[in-house]
Amino acid sequence: MKRLGILTMVLFIQTTFAQTNRFVYQVTMKPDASNKADIKTENAYLDISAEKSMFYSENRIKRDSVMQANRQSGGARGFNRDQMESLRSSINYSIEKDKKNQKTIYKDRLGRDAYSYEEDRALEWKILPETTKIGEYKVQKAETDFGGRKWTAWFTTDLPYQDGPYKFSGLPGLVVKAEDADGDYSFDLMKNYKIADFPEMNQFGNVVKVKRADYVKQQEKFKTDPMSFMNNQRSGGISSPMRTGGGGGNQNPADMRKRMEERAKEEIKKNSNPIELK
């Protein structure tokens, strides 16, 4: 009985430490350079385990769940267009930090395919003596220049993590708040809790691994002529990156192409003030 009790305790401890910790951040964005009054706010998850962390949109997981349910029903339910539109996200990327190999992998969709690259720029932090309290955490101030923006972060050592939202890492604690000097982007920790494991994310089309500089070039090509860019892609995974389901029928291909192009250009315009300016 004593040996069984010890085994039970060991399994309990292993299970406890194997759990993933989820930190929920409120992300505030002004993605449209021509309309800074249009402020987008949504939640994003930072899931952390001993081996890695993942940062991604809450709405992405909710959309994946709706699409998965539709697939399991054989498409019988159909997509609820209003529901899918309500789950649209301004955070279309995901970021994985490989703790063992000290790598940060960025993944985002361009046209029909997903592109991923390993971040090749280190964040160089200046840790300042200023401290304060945000919520229940004692935090300390730090600054960095990254991606063409000057960032101020507040990190805490009250939690045993050296991580943060987006690509932020390398501080001796968890980033509780981060904001750029222009006030275009901010990340604010709202709450945290444990989850069993990282969720599975749906992936459509190819995953194209490139260098960061090549990704930037492809991104510029997409912005310049989105339809030409998509026509040159090899993917057969989905018919359009902008499509949210519903409707369809026997539509004129030329009309569909025109609507897709207009929607793509509108999406690009609405994201003319990206989080990284260079």
Specify the pLDDT at position 73.
64
What is the value of pTM for the model shown? Answer: 0.81
Cα–Cα dist 102/123, whole Å: 12
Residue type, 18: A
pLDDT in tens, 9-29: 433 444 444 589 999 999 999
48: which strand partners? Answer: 21, 53
Specify the pLDDT at position 60.
85
Residue 262 belongs to some domain of the structure: yes
103: which strand partners? Answer: 98
Residue 266 binned pLDDT confidence (cut-offs 50, 70, 90): confident
**Range 152-179 average pLDDT:** 97
Residue 256 sits in which domain range?
20-121+182-243+252-270
pLDDT in tens, 24-37: 999 999 999 999 99
Residue 152 belongs to some domain of the structure: no
**Range 220-230 average pLDDT:** 87
Specify the pLDDT at position 242.
39
Residue 50 belongs to some domain of the structure: yes
Write down the residue that tokens 């291909």 correspond to. Answer: 253
pLDDT in tens, 168-183: 999 999 999 999 999 9
Q: Which residues of 179-218 are buried (b: 16+ CB within 10 A; e: fewer)?
A: bbeeebbbbbbeebeeeeebbeeeeebeebeeeeeebeeb
Find out whether 271 and 110 touch, Cβ atoms under 8 Å. no
pLDDT in tens, 41-80: 999 999 999 999 999 999 888 776 676 666 666 655 556 6
Residue 107 belongs to some domain of the structure: yes
Residue 150 belongs to some domain of the structure: no
Residue 53 belongs to some domain of the structure: yes
Residue 239 belongs to some domain of the structure: yes
Question: Structurally, how many domains does the chain consist of?
Answer: 1
Cα–Cα dist 186/128, whole Å: 19
Residue 277 belongs to some domain of the structure: no
Percent of the chain with pLDDT over 90: 58
Can you list the alpha helix ranges (DSSP code H) found in 128-252?
212-224, 226-231
The whole-chain average pLDDT of the chain stands at 84
Residue type, 63: R
Q: How many C-beta neighbours within 10 Å does residue 236 have? A: 10
Specify the pLDDT at position 8.
42
In the sheet that holds 113-118, the strands lie side by side as 126-134, 137-146, 149-156, 174-180, 185-195, 20-29, 40-48, 52-57, 94-98, 103-110, 113-118, 207-209
74-78, 87-91, 155-159, 170-174: least confident range: 74-78
Task: Fill in the DSSP letter of residue 199.
Answer: P
